[in-house]
A = this chain, B = another copy of it.
């Protein structure tokens, strides 16, 4: 790897001039610039990013904390994050915590502020204290897609109106004529998917419908989780005509369960999800769901992170920014229909 010194030597200038050429700082003669450029090309010189980071007192990367990139939701999110991060020349380091707070802490301690200039956190099961520490140590942290900002660690956050998402899905089912609607609620950690469920409940109440406790099941936020829950639910309550799930994956699992039990989806039972992951439109029947602005959230989160980085040193005691995405939107597909007349 050629260094800036070698380039300078070859071009007969000092490293400072080479640096100026590189940063396009203008204050360089056309002829000199050409000589430098030639040397760069001849040597195949590329600036050493770690060195540059050190000299500039910044870091060229952002850390993206997720529980597992293999969870189908995150790849789409990560892609959008990377795209936006590139705008400011940042690279994205992907940090899988595997749901283990200790692993999350290890990541934060190692790279926050030393290799990554900022940290983006989605549902990675991290200790709030670790996040607060990171922030206190001077590295901006932004939460994204957090269910309830008000219950969080009090950090800057990009919020999605998940309550509205729940409400939209429920209203759709109600409008179709469903009166007995089961709910599969993500159970991971405490409170996850609470707002979605609350939106669901609110919509039912407004329509004068009861939420039967027996029709609400908590389940892991996975296909299998939804499958098991739906199986149990449909087995116990054959009068249900619809199932509301707080996430797409369990909803998809519920569709499988219904099929296995001999129910036709959507004619015997309607099923809805929330998020609109790729798979939602690609499975059969395609899933009626409430699309959450994933890419927009990612973009806003990175932009916010960037602002915080630029605002260094951050104004003390400022209340953390909460930034809202545009509203979630109902997407009607093949998994919902009016209930059978019976």
Residues of A within 8 A of B (CB): 1, 44, 46-51, 53-54, 59-61, 68-72, 74-76, 78-79, 82-83, 91-96, 109-115, 133, 137-138, 223-224, 256, 259-260, 278-279, 282-284
A86 to chain B, nearest CB (A): 9
Cβ-closest 10 pairs across A and B:
A49-B115, A49-B114, A50-B53, A48-B114, A70-B75, A50-B50, A69-B75, A70-B79, A91-B93, A223-B282
9 A-B pairs with CB atoms under 8 Å apart are: A46-B110, A46-B114, A46-B137, A61-B115, A70-B76, A75-B75, A94-B94, A256-B284, A259-B284
Please tell me if the beta carbons of B1 and A278 are within 8 angstroms of each other in the complex: no
Chain B residue at minimum C-beta to C-beta distance from A112: B46
Please tell me if the beta carbons of B69 and A69 are within 8 angstroms of each other in the complex: yes
Interface centre among A75, A83, A93, A113 (most CB of B within 10 A): A75
Please tell me if the beta carbons of A78 and B69 are within 8 angstroms of each other in the complex: yes
Please tell me if the beta carbons of A72 and B72 are within 8 angstroms of each other in the complex: yes
How far, in whole Å, are A9 and B16 apart by their CA atoms in the complex? 32
CB neighbours (8 Å) of A82 from chain B are: 69, 94, 96
How far, in whole Å, are A342 and B72 apart by their CA atoms in the complex? 41
Please tell me if the beta carbons of B96 and A94 are within 8 angstroms of each other in the complex: no
Please tell me if the beta carbons of B111 and A91 are within 8 angstroms of each other in the complex: yes
Among B1, B71, B72, B114, which residue has its beta carbon within 8 angstroms of that of A50? Answer: B114
A37 to chain B, nearest CB (A): 15
How far, in whole Å, are A94 and B47 apart by their CA atoms in the complex? 20
With A50-B114, A75-B69, A79-B70 as known contacts, state yes or no: A93 contacts B93, CB within 8 Å: yes
Among B1, B70, B71, which residue has its beta carbon within 8 angstroms of that of A113? Answer: B1
Please tell me if the beta carbons of B110 and A49 are within 8 angstroms of each other in the complex: yes
CB neighbours (8 Å) of A283 from chain B are: 283
A106 to chain B, nearest CB (A): 9
How far, in whole Å, are A59 and B111 apart by their CA atoms in the complex? 13
CB neighbours (8 Å) of A61 from chain B are: 61, 93, 115
CB neighbours (8 Å) of A91 from chain B are: 93, 95, 111, 115
CB neighbours (8 Å) of A48 from chain B are: 54, 113-114
A93 to chain B, nearest CB (A): 5
How far, in whole Å, are A72 and B74 apart by their CA atoms in the complex? 11
With A93-B92, A278-B70 as known contacts, state yes or no: A114 contacts B54, CB within 8 Å: no
How far, in whole Å, are A323 and B94 apart by their CA atoms in the complex? 26
Among B50, B68, B256, which residue has its beta carbon within 8 angstroms of that of A59? Answer: B50
How far, in whole Å, are A72 and B282 apart by their CA atoms in the complex? 12
Chain B residue at minimum C-beta to C-beta distance from A103: B86
Chain B residue at minimum C-beta to C-beta distance from A2: B137
Interface centre among A68, A224, A282 (most CB of B within 10 A): A282
CB neighbours (8 Å) of A53 from chain B are: 50
Chain B residue at minimum C-beta to C-beta distance from A78: B69
Chain B residue at minimum C-beta to C-beta distance from A109: B46
Chain B residue at minimum C-beta to C-beta distance from A249: B282
How far, in whole Å, are A72 and B283 apart by their CA atoms in the complex? 14
With A53-B50, A93-B91, A256-B284 as known contacts, state yes or no: A68 contacts B79, CB within 8 Å: yes
A249 to chain B, nearest CB (A): 9
